A and B are shown apart, each in its own frame.
Chain A
């Protein structure tokens, strides 16, 4: 059960005086970001945990009501900053669904590759730091070196390593070139060796297994009832993956498996994430050799799309359209509708609920962050665990506080 007020009165009773309270965070290396837990302990056993969140709340959703669909992309990639490009892809997926824009095949493949690179990036950090928190420093460094290569790939495409702001309504900011394709190819080629190395370091490592096996158990029923999605739910045996269930981008064309496990503990989550990276590499391999030729952005006939630079400089139509999209007092008409659209982010279901009032600004831009729903589960699964398991469970849930608090 999550925290209930009645629990507190019970724990404050005079005969429970042997219980003590420990404040964990908001600044603690194992929380990775700013979140706070108040733990009630019996010796070293956690009796109760109360999360206090909101330290990074910065009103992103309010900002979304004041920025247009292209501008807000700079805010969404600051939510889950471990895989920033996936937030952008997800946001524009929702916007394009609202506007009824069908992407070009080239853009679909490009975004699919980037989305899968982001999944790898996220899982690299998560499995790496999960081991780091438990004392395994080496795997973390091996994986961070791979993350560096992904940063390079993203930089080649967008000019930015971290907060890329790369996608636009109906396409991306710049097309990629052959140098980028070569970089992705060489990353894919080198990744398997590092992945195998980390498997050798951790998967049968007795110290690691003792710390994660059987820890933080979550049953399939609880996962569904508590709204848990993504690798956490799949580690408990819930076969749910939006890439298969509600296919988007190029996923219907691709051959990949949904990775799942039965155990539902931290070790199962580690294994699921490790294997998902292999599946992602498979997807990238299929895409990178088959990127369709042709334009990357939707044709400029659609009023919502930023026109290509040559057409802006050489034709009056392009110039007018550029002006209409860019100027804050102009804009294009949008359907006066509401839509919920979700994608499978590395962490789980990342959804956006957009209400449009007919202007190119969202009337309401709600984010459904997976971290928020997952952190609500934490007090439930940490009960009766040891204090040292807190970091193991927290690591396996992959809570990103910027996304949690928005």
Chain B
């Protein structure tokens, strides 16, 4: 039985949406069931590698209902299958369970999503900014953040030789 069939039978009433585009097998899952489904795919199926966690801000996307989509790409190193799991979160407090307890690769990948989109992951051991400085307040990959920034670069505090 394929992993998708197993999910269909186990999470029958939970509103999972299955689709395929080119060779991507995609599953949209409700945020409340996300951790349970990923844990099932890892522990009872054979998806032992988390290749990618990323997010998309659908603020300006035509016909989108939710603000953020969070995408998990999981891989089976045994059968070379790939699944794209997607879930949606919304303002004002976008929050998802961290999958760090399942895959350690989620550590930095989730930190980057937090840094760039402001989506928090509960249960993450060290959810700090990673690419932008700690003092940074905005979430740069959100669609309401301008391409040129908001002047952070020009107002960056500079330490002179006399002060250091």
Contact = CB atoms under 8 A, between A and B. Distances in A.
A253 to B, nearest CB: 19
State the 3 A-B residue pairs at the shortest beta-carbon distance, nearest first: A227-B105, A245-B80, A54-B131
A225 interface: yes
Contact of B22 (A100, A351, A355): A100
Interface of B: 21-24, 26, 48-52, 54, 56-57, 60-62, 71, 73, 77, 80, 82, 84, 103-105, 107-109, 112, 116, 125-126, 130-133, 140-141, 145, 147
B140 A372 contact: no
B108 A372 contact: yes
A376 B105 contact: yes
A225 B56 contact: no
B52 A351 contact: yes
Given A100-B22, A240-B80, 10 more contacts: A3-B126, A54-B132, A224-B48, A225-B103, A225-B104, A238-B77, A340-B52, A349-B51, A355-B56, A364-B56
Given A245-B80, A363-B61, A372-B108, A57 B52 contact: no
A169 B72 CA distance: 27
Nearest to B86: A338
Interface string A347-373: 001010101011000011010100011
A26 B119 CA distance: 28
Contact of A373 (B54, B108, B126, B145): B108
Contacts of A65: 147
B131 A405 contact: yes
A372 B21 CA distance: 27
Interface in A78-114: 97-98, 100
Contact of B49 (A61, A224, A336): A224
B131 A53 contact: yes
A227 B49 contact: yes
B126 A376 contact: no
A366 B56 CA distance: 9
A97 B21 CA distance: 10
A339 B104 CA distance: 24
A376 B100 CA distance: 13
Contact of A353 (B71, B80, B132, B141): B71
B52 A246 contact: no
Contacts of B84: 340
B72 to A, nearest CB: 10
A405 B140 CA distance: 14
Nearest to B100: A2
14 contacts: A5-B126, A53-B131, A62-B140, A66-B147, A222-B104, A226-B103, A227-B51, A227-B105, A240-B77, A351-B51, A353-B73, A366-B54, A372-B112, A375-B108
Contact of B105 (A336, A355, A373): A373
Contacts of A62: 140-141, 145, 147
A14 interface: no
A190 interface: no
Nearest to B128: A5
Contacts of A227: 49-51, 103-105, 109
A320 interface: no
Contacts of B71: 338, 340, 353
A5 B125 contact: yes
